[in-house]
Structure 1
Amino acid sequence: MRLPQIVTDERRRRHGGTGWLVALVGAVVLVGAPYLPWAYGDEAMDDMTYLGGPSPTQFLGLALGAALLVCLLAARFLVPRLPAARRRWFAWHTGASAVATGALVFQAVVVVAVALELGGLVNVEYGGWIALAGALLAFAGTRLLVPERTATLGRVHSPAWLVILVIAAVMLGSLLLIAHALDEDDPGVFIALLVFVGAAVTLVLRIGLGGWFSSQTARFRPVLVMAAFLVAFAFPFTQDGSNANMSIATQVLIFAATALGLNIVVGLAGLLDLGYIAFLGAGAFVAAILSGSAFSAVGWNPPFIVTVLISGVVASIFGLIIGSPTLRVSGDYLAIVTLAFGEIFRLVMINLDGNDGPDLTNGSNGIPNIPDLNLFGFDFGEPHVMLGVEIPRFANYYFLLLVLVGLVIVVFANLNRSRIGRGWVAIREDEKAAEAMGVNVFGLKLFAFAGGAFLAGVAGSVKAHHDISVTPDQYVFLESAFLLAAVVLGGMGTILGVLVGATLLRLMPEKLRFFDEYRLLAFGLLLVVMMRFRPEGLIASRRRQLEFHEDDEELAAHTGEAPPGAGRAEPEGAR
């Protein structure tokens, strides 16, 4: 242990009692402050002007205060009364520190949102300042607490009925949360909700419940996967026929399917591709040309199943064309080449207008009026009634994309567990060592490019019919950057992490349109913060956690793995 860490721990032991008392006062203030008015006018957020009548957002602040209070009281009065074997099941001080940090960020967001929406800090009522002061007290007090070692609850064996019940509760809560988030129009409330969810998830992970959930659900992985898809299938039935919300949901799925393809290239093989959006565009243009649109220069309109395969094959051919001469290089040089390819693709699509080249894409105007899909007699452009609920146009595409994402996940998981996946990981870790051990480095890198491009082309074929039109300006470098950010933010090499990252990066711009001019700044700051505090991503594989925290012996003990180089790690996509 380093000397600064020893000094810090000694100070915490000396002032731990004072810190606990200060944090307790802050928690009590956080619980009581929601019953006070936080805003002068009812136009701010969800009307926080009442005395004694908390709004839904204020109840979220109350919940954070209550969670902090439970952590503090449990650490002081419950743990000493437990048998020695159970005292380390939960890490109460670590959880208190996490929830106090979340409460401080939450209260700061509320104060800033009220000031922006009402025109100044003077419109923040005394209750808002009291809540912010309570969060500051809680944050300062928890900094003095002595953090426990890693919680051991994950090693406790629980009955099957309890695990299945928890899985059902988590999935139901996720469904209700996503439905509520999509229905929320106020940007301040939406950001506060995201902060609350982040604080709650961090608390669950830090306190030890996250490790328990992960270890127990490993025994019931089919149940977990089935529950996740049932929740995703049930989502349109919670939207009351809202075409706008379902449009956002289908865009999220398109983005997620494409990001999973990029995850093969970047997350597994370690190849930095900055022009990946071109493969999505290739699939979209092929589907548009073969769609039967009046603006298409090709008169052939094959069945959609054939179109999907052609789109994927054409995109993978593009991957082979760009990969064959360029995969001899790596690192920054490969990134520059792929960036150039993405721009070349866009310019070529603009030039295929009949003047500078063959008339295939109508130049910068693209191909509009793409008809809706008609698959086995089912018209995706018409609303349908299912189980007594109206399913609008975008919900039809949502179900199709849900099946597509499921297939992509199956392909990714099986590739990752195969000999090919292990070869990709070996190339990412040390290309020279992998080649010396007999791994076909060039062939596997080329297969990663072609396979990822195929998945993006398939997603692009659905996107063309979903968007009704395809233009070259839809496939600019910025979209490639967002895809790469989704993979890095969520967790490279994982499935759930990329899905979470793609959902956040596609959902936030839709709900924060007032921030549109500064979204690049926001994403840049978000990535900088992530690289500083959690470089492995939001949901990282155990292997990558150990790669970024080689000196963390507690993490190695918690994950059940040795530090890098000391033993064999589990496959990256296992989570």
Structure 2
Amino acid sequence: MSSALSIPLFGGRFANRAVPVLALGLLLLVVAPFMSWCYDPDVLGDLTLWFNPAPSQWAVLSLGLGGLALLSLSVVPPLRRFEPYATEGKALRALGIGTAIFMAGVLIIITVQAGGLVNAEPGAWVALAGALIVTLGSSIRESYADKELIHVRLPSWMEVLILVVFVGGFMLLAAYALGITDAARFVMLVIHVGVVMGVLAGAGLFTWLGILATKHSRVLMLAAFAAAFAFPLTQDGSDANMSIATNVLIFAATAVGLNIVVGLAGLLDLGYIAFLGAGAYVGAILSGSAFATIDWEPPFIVTALIGAIFSSILGLIIGSPTLRVSGDYLAIVTLAFGEIFRLTMFNLDGNNGPNLTRGSNGIPDIPELHLLGFDFGESHHFFGIEITRFANYYFLLLILMAFIILVFMRMNASRIGRGWIAIREDEKAAEAMGVNVFGLKLLAFAGGAFLAGLAGTVKAHHDVAVTPDSYQFLESAFLLAAVVLGGMGTVGGVIVGAVILKLLPEKLRFFSEYRLLLFGLLLVLMMRFRPEGLIASQRRKLEFHEEDDALAEKVQEVHIEEVK
């Protein structure tokens, strides 16, 4: 068994006093939500009431109760048998620091919205003090863990149930987040979720869930898609929320295609948005729009295949001469390709070239999709629940996402996928072992472009118009960031990264001038503290932490568990 030691910040001298300090801080976090936090009732859902917590106060209460539950594993005698599995030292430290950040955010919002920090009442200061005391207590505590959650054995049905509950909880959280209209409350929800994730990561839950997901991958996939299909039923016919959801799916589907190029083959592509744009323009030109420049309207399935094949041909054209370079040079060439595509769409206006795209005017008035007699532009009712236009496209995009994920996973598990990974790890060594490096690189470019083209044809009908300005370099940067942020080479990680990078800007429009600043700060923090991404395999994680011997031993244990 592995042995994990959490070294206290202030040494073992005060370690025996850590439990009372932690208990005091956590009790303050439990008591503070029942106190008044602010004089102004318009701040964060009315923080003025005593014994009637608002959502932000419930968030702190949940953190306090969760911390007490962790602490009880080493204090309450009947629960001590679970202590070897609990890395509560790291978890409580994450809880203390995260809650302090949460309360700092509350005080900033009170200062801005209520007209000064003087409007903060004692409850807010008690909660902040509790968070700081928990941080102090976790820093002076020695925590040993002879075992970790990866060693826990449960019946298969219970493991499946845990995965289903986890997926369902994630979808309910997404539905709740979309329903929040107050920007300040949304920000506090994001911080609270981040704190909870930090605590769970410190307790080793995500590593354990990764093992369960590997053992029950099919069940997890079915549960995820079942929850995703049920998502529109929770939105009460809201066009605004479903519009955001469909845009997230388009972005995620494109990011999974890019993950083939970047995550598997290790090729830095900064112009990938051009392939999405190529598919969208094909979809628009062949849509039967009054502004379309080609008088041919084939069935949508044919249009989707033409758009995907056209995008893959562009991938072959750009890949053939440029894949002989690598690293920074490849990034510069692909960036140039993305700009060339955008400028070409401007110039195909009938003046500077043939009239195919109508230049800067684009192709508007794209008709709604009609597939197998189903009109995607009309609202429908399902058991009395209204399914709006955007919900129709949402379901279609879910089916497309399922196809893209299937292609990605099958290719990843094949000899081709292993060849891509070999190229990513060491191109020279792969070539020496007989891997067709250039051919596999070209296939990665063409395959990723094909999937992006498919998504683009649906996007054209969803957006009702296509213009060159929709496919700028910044969009490619966000796609690449979604892959890096979520975890290169994984499906779940990229989807989570896409949801974060697409959902947050939509809900933080009040912060529009500083959204890129927050985006850059997020990436800097990720590169510093979790360069492998939010959801990454243990082996991928080890690549970024080669000096961590304990992690190497854990990776070996995880691999043994996965084999079992």
Q: Which residue of 2 aligns with 1:49?
A: 48
Q: Which residue of 1 aligns with 2:532?
A: 536
Q: Which residue of 2 aligns with 1:287?
A: 283
Q: Which amino acid is the alignment partner of residue 490 of structure 2?
A: T
1:264 aligns with 2:255: no
Alignment of 1:488-567 (within 5 A): 488-560=484-556
Give the secondary-structure state (helix, strand or coil) at the position aligned to 1:328. coil
Following superposition, the deviation at residue 204 of structure 1 comes to: 2.4
Match of 1:200 among 196, 200, 215: 196
1:421 aligns with 2:417: yes
What CA distance in whole angstroms lies between the structure 1 residues aligned with 2:71 and 2:510? 39
What CA distance in whole angstroms lies between the structure 2 residues aligned with 1:427 and 1:113? 49
Q: Which amino acid is the alignment partner of residue 248 of structure 1?
A: I
Alignment of 1:466-477 (within 5 A): 466-477=462-473
Once the two structures are aligned, what percentage of the paired residues are identical? 58
Bigger drift between 427-436 and 152-161 goes to: 152-161
Give the secondary-structure state (helix, strand or coil) at the position aligned to 1:76. coil
Change (3 A) 1:140 1:130: same
Q: Which amino acid is the alignment partner of residue 245 of structure 2?
A: A
1:397 aligns with 2:393: yes
Unaligned runs of 5+ in 1: none
Following superposition, the deviation at residue 511 of structure 1 comes to: 0.5
Q: Which amino acid is the alignment partner of residue 519 of structure 2?
A: F
Following superposition, the deviation at residue 184 of structure 1 comes to: 0.5
What CA distance in whole angstroms lies between the structure 2 residues aligned with 1:24 and 1:345? 61
Following superposition, the deviation at residue 469 of structure 1 comes to: 0.3
* Aligned-pair Cα RMSD in Å: 2.1
Give the secondary-structure state (helix, strand or coil) at the position aligned to 1:148. strand
What CA distance in whole angstroms lies between the structure 1 residues aligned with 2:212 and 2:55? 33
Q: Which amino acid is the alignment partner of residue 33 of structure 1?
A: A
Q: Which residue of 2 aligns with 1:19?
A: 18
What CA distance in whole angstroms lies between the structure 2 residues aligned with 1:213 and 1:31? 28
Bigger drift between 215-224 and 358-367 goes to: 215-224
Q: Which amino acid is the alignment partner of residue 90 of structure 1?
A: A
What CA distance in whole angstroms lies between the structure 1 residues aligned with 2:142 and 2:403? 47
What CA distance in whole angstroms lies between the structure 2 residues aligned with 1:559 and 1:387? 48
What CA distance in whole angstroms lies between the structure 2 residues aligned with 1:325 and 1:295? 35
Alignment of 1:288-307 (within 5 A): 288-307=284-303
Question: Would the aligned equivalents of 1:102 and 1:199 in 2 still touch at CA under 8 Å?
Answer: yes
Following superposition, the deviation at residue 569 of structure 1 comes to: 13
What CA distance in whole angstroms lies between the structure 2 residues aligned with 1:68 and 1:81? 16
What CA distance in whole angstroms lies between the structure 2 residues aligned with 1:69 and 1:286? 58
Following superposition, the deviation at residue 543 of structure 1 comes to: 1.7
- Give the TM-score, by structure 2 length: 0.95
Following superposition, the deviation at residue 158 of structure 1 comes to: 0.8
Question: Would the aligned equivalents of 1:30 and 1:135 in 2 still touch at CA under 8 Å?
Answer: yes
What CA distance in whole angstroms lies between the structure 2 residues aligned with 1:569 and 1:525? 36
Q: Which residue of 1 aligns with 2:383?
A: 387
Q: Which residue of 1 aligns with 2:38?
A: 39
Can you list the C-alpha shifts for 1:462-500, whole angstroms capped at 9, x where unaligned?
000000000000000110111011111100111000000
Q: Which amino acid is the alignment partner of residue 146 of structure 1?
A: E
What CA distance in whole angstroms lies between the structure 1 residues aligned with 2:169 and 2:345? 44
Can you list the C-alpha shifts for 1:361-384, whole angstroms capped at 9, x where unaligned?
111110000001000110000000
Following superposition, the deviation at residue 69 of structure 1 comes to: 1.7
Change (3 A) 1:423 1:53: same
Alignment of 1:166-181 (within 5 A): 166-181=162-177
Q: Which amino acid is the alignment partner of residue 27 of structure 1?
A: L
Q: Which amino acid is the alignment partner of residue 536 of structure 1?
A: E
What CA distance in whole angstroms lies between the structure 2 residues aligned with 1:186 and 1:496? 29
Question: Would the aligned equivalents of 2:281 and 2:357 in 1 still touch at CA under 8 Å?
Answer: yes
1:119 aligns with 2:115: yes
Following superposition, the deviation at residue 203 of structure 1 comes to: 2.1
What CA distance in whole angstroms lies between the structure 2 residues aligned with 1:479 and 1:121? 39
Give the secondary-structure state (helix, strand or coil) at the position aligned to 2:290. coil
What CA distance in whole angstroms lies between the structure 2 residues aligned with 1:227 and 1:150? 33
Q: Which residue of 1 aligns with 2:426?
A: 430
Unaligned runs of 5+ in 2: none
Change (3 A) 1:151 1:259: farther
Match of 1:210 among 203, 206, 209: 206
Q: Which residue of 1 aligns with 2:457?
A: 461
Question: Would the aligned equivalents of 1:91 and 1:150 in 2 still touch at CA under 8 Å?
Answer: no
Q: Which residue of 1 aligns with 2:439?
A: 443
Q: Which residue of 1 aligns with 2:64?
A: 65
Question: Would the aligned equivalents of 1:272 and 1:335 in 2 still touch at CA under 8 Å?
Answer: yes
Q: Which amino acid is the alignment partner of residue 178 of structure 2?
A: L
Equivalences, count: 560
- Give the TM-score, by structure 1 length: 0.94
Following superposition, the deviation at residue 231 of structure 1 comes to: 0.3
